[in-house]
Amino acid sequence: MSTLERAITEEGLRPLPEAAAALLRQVGAPARLGAHLRAVHDVAVEIVDWAGGEVEVDRAAVLFGAATHDIGKARFPEELSGPGAQHEPAGQQLLVALGVEPRLARFAALHGNWRRDAATLEELLVTLADKVWKGRREAGLEEQVAQVVAEARGEPVWAVFMRVDDALTRIADGADARLAFQSRFPTA
């Protein structure tokens, strides 16, 4: 069994959607990328479960987006262990070239640009999962999520923010296990 196959199937985290796993195999993704996408997807399940209890959310889109948002790093593997954003537009282009609908491929290009006024709740949730999987909290992003949910529910932002904070605090508590899972797999 290849290290990529182990990263995307080994016990410990929720499995990736099969379509996402097939895409990773197809592009020959490094095992570390598979493990990272699996960790982010695992957190996205919890985030979308919380958000879906608050407002209508395209669950399948968020989970697919979380499972493929960094696929462009298969073309820019140096960005697995260092800075860079070349993988974002490359990921979207790669996904579209592989037959993925543009509405789903957009997560690859947009997950690093959450400060846009036009960011959808689904895009914000993918970005949030990409932060919280490792225990990182991004106050501005969390406030933006709370704002979108509060507007949809007709509630004060502070009340929704308290629920966002509670959910993310609980989810972030599992960061050490997810980091340990990812670190078991090589970047090359």
Number of domains forming the structure of the chain = 1
* Confidence bin at 30 (pLDDT 50/70/90): very high
Q: Is residue 103 part of a domain?
A: yes
Q: CB of 61 within 8 A of CB of 81?
A: no
| b/e code 71-109 from CB counts within 10 Å (16+ = b) | bbbbebbebbeeeeeebbebbbebbbeeebeeebbbbbb
CA dist 65 and 103 (Å) reads 10
Give the CATH number, domain containing residue 15.
1.10.3210
* Confidence (pLDDT) at 187: 86
Torsion of CA 123, 99, 75, 31, to 10 degrees: 80
Residues 6+ apart with CB under 8 A from 8: 15, 16, 21, 24, 25, 34, 35, 37, 38
* Confidence bin at 19 (pLDDT 50/70/90): very high
Q: CB of 171 within 8 A of CB of 186?
A: no
DSSP string, 18-38: HHHHHHHHHHT--HHHHHHHH
* Confidence (pLDDT) at 112: 84
Q: Is residue 81 part of a domain?
A: yes
Q: Is residue 65 part of a domain?
A: yes
Q: How many CB atoms lie within 10 A of CB 142?
A: 19
Average pLDDT, the chain: 95
Q: Higher pLDDT residue, 24 or 1?
A: 24
Q: Is residue 188 part of a domain?
A: no
Q: Is the pLDDT of residue 7 over 90?
A: yes
Provide the residue range defining the domain that includes 67.
Answer: 3-183
* Confidence (pLDDT) at 8: 94
Work out the percent of the chain whose per-residue pLDDT is above 70: 100
* Confidence (pLDDT) at 116: 80
| Tens-digit pLDDT profile for residues 98-154 | 999 999 999 999 888 888 878 999 999 999 999 999 999 999 999 999 999 999 999
Q: Is residue 87 part of a domain?
A: yes
